[in-house]
Amino acid sequence: MKTISRTAIALSCLLAITACNKKPAEEAATPAAPAVVTAPAAPAPAAEPTAEERERAEKEARLAYSMMEDQYINDPKAQWATSAKASSTFGEKGDSMPRTPEESRAWKATGKPDGYEWSQLNHDTGMDWLELGFATPVQATAVRAVFISSEAVESIAKVELIDVSGAAIQVWSGLSDVKPDQRGDRTWFVREFPKTEKKIQGVKLTFANAVASGFKQVDAVQLIGE
């Protein structure tokens, strides 16, 4: 009886030890449940601006436009054109023929912006050019053209400078990246470039009329340099 009891006790201990060793292994073999991923909440839709906020935004845009235009108009390094000729003008046969400034509509693109402008003869056909002369030859760094017809600013295809010898220097060509400026009554086309070695006395703007159908309406042109 004593031998049986000891054997039974030993067997019970062995089974207990085996069970203890087996349980961690079984637990390790059981794959962990995948973590639950919660999708981020969709952002709340932006609130519509109030009438007061829209009015303020419009005034801030007009203020920025006014400050930009004032800086351009009063730029001490800028001068306005004093003479002009064009490939054609609205209502006339063409300005390439000899005329006095008073007889030509191209001269309306001279001086400061005043609401009087040059426009080409055919609003969506072929190419046209407008050439401006300036009183003081300078080593140029930029050209600015003022458009009354905002959409037409996209039709500028080439900008050339005329040096004191009469030679043309192309400083830009291609499809205009300037968009109509809705903040004010005019759109400014601005093209900057490295300072020229030769002194410049003129600017020639070439237009691809079909790119932006309509009359070009150039009010004024600036030459910037020293």
Residue 129, pLDDT > 70, answer yes
pLDDT at position 8 over 60: no
DSSP letter at 141 equals: E
CA distance 22 to 189: 83
Name the strands in the sheet holding 78-80, side by side, starting at the edge strand that comes first in the sequence. 78-80, 218-225, 140-147, 187-192
Percentage with pLDDT > 90 across the chain: 57
How far is the C-alpha of 12 from the C-alpha of 196, rounded, in Å? 103
Residue 91: per-residue pLDDT:
75
pLDDT bracket for residue 166 (50, 70, 90): very high
The region, left, alpha or beta by phi > 0 then psi within -120 to 50, assigned to residue 72 is alpha
Q: What is the pTM of this model?
A: 0.74
Closest CA to 204 of 116, 83, 76, 74: 83
- In terms of phi and psi (left: phi > 0; alpha: psi -120 to 50; beta: otherwise), the region of 67 is alpha
- The confidence score (pLDDT) of residue 25 equals 46
CA dist., res. 24 & res. 18, Å (int): 11
Asked if residue 159 lies in contact with residue 200, where contact means CB atoms within 8 angstroms, the answer is no
**More confident call, 216 vs 133:** 133
Q: Is residue 86's pLDDT more than 90? A: yes
Q: How high does pLDDT run on average in the chain?
A: 83
| pLDDT tens-digit map of 89-127 | 887 654 444 445 444 589 999 999 999 899 988 888 899
Q: What is the dotted CATH code of the domain comprising 78-225? A: 2.60.120.260
Between 13 and 221, where is the model more confident? 221
> Domains of the chain: which residue ranges?
78-225
Q: What is the pLDDT of residue 34?
A: 62
DSSP 8-state assignment for residue 113: -
- Is 183's pLDDT higher than 60? yes
In terms of pLDDT, which residue wins out, 12 or 119?
119
Beta bridge partner(s), residue 49: none
- Write the CA distances from 10 to 1, 6, 22, 162, integer angstroms: 14, 6, 18, 113
**Amino acid 40: pLDDT:** 74
pLDDT at 5: 53
pLDDT for res 1: 43
d(CA 118, CA 84): 10
List helix spans (H) across the chain: 2-29, 51-73
Place of tokens 């600015």: 144
Share of the chain above pLDDT 70, in %: 77
